Amino acid sequence: MTKREPDIKTRILLAAKKLFALQGYDGTSVRQICDEAGANLSLVSYHFGGKEKVFEALFERYFLVRIPDEHDSSMSPVEGLVLIIRELIRFTSVDREMSDIVQLEMALRTNRNAAMYPFLEPIWTRLTGLLQAGKDQGIFRIDSVSYSMLMVLSVSLSPQRAFNTKFMVDFEQENPDHLADQTVTFALRGLGVSRHEWTNRL
């Protein structure tokens, strides 16, 4: 049985994802996207309405990060935090191109950030809520929820930066699950959660 060829819209999205990750949104032309996808130049406008809409469609199709339900009262702050960390590690490991696009756009602070916020804001909001709940319950021994949120996000997304450097030559061999375990341990220790407390809550 032969592998089915992706449809033209998917080919355009995959080409854009690859090129935006490699050379940035502004450094990528519609013609380059179409050449990479093997598509007629007019099809970007026909299917998406332009390059900006292709950017938005990438997030709708490929930004897949599961976060804990804020109405799930059975999940502890530690459980929720661990789920978010593991999801972010999985995201950076499975789709490095989308991870690169997110981090590049955030670093450049472009007007395209507005297109990303509907996908990123629920993560920040839920993470902040979990940290606040954990602090209120005495689980997380932290002074600033906002600062702690930034630290957790940084340590969860930092593996992607390592993929793009020469500092860790053996990093490609790292198992994502093992990497997630190490990241969870590092983050919980930084939040002041003892091993006894987090093993009892997971």
The domain locations on the chain are: 8-61, 64-201
Tokens of 148: 């702690």
Phi, psi of 97 (to 5 degrees): -65, -45
pTM as predicted: 0.81
| pLDDT, position 36 | 96
Instruction: State the pLDDT at residue 7.
Output: 87
Judge contact between 7 and 37, C-beta under 8 A.
Answer: no
CATH number belonging to the domain at 64-201, selected among 3.40.50.620, 1.10.357.10, 3.40.50.150, 3.40.50.300? 1.10.357.10
Nearest residue to 183 via CA among 41, 109, 85 = 85
Tell me if 98 sits within 8 A of 88, measured CB to CB. Answer: no
Domain at 8-61, CATH class: mainly alpha
Question: Cα(113)–Cα(106) distance, rounded to whole angstroms?
Answer: 7
Contacts of 15 (CB under 8 A, 6+ apart): 33, 34, 36, 37, 39
Report which DSSP code applies to 69: -
Largest alpha-carbon pair distance within the chain?
60
- Count CB neighbours of 41 within 10 A: 13
Q: Going residue by residue through the chain (202 aa), what tens digit of pLDDT does each one get?
A: 445 567 899 999 999 999 999 999 999 999 999 999 999 999 999 999 999 999 999 999 999 888 877 767 778 899 999 999 999 988 888 888 998 899 888 888 888 889 999 999 999 999 999 999 999 999 999 999 999 999 998 888 876 555 555 555 455 556 778 888 888 888 999 999 876 666 655 5
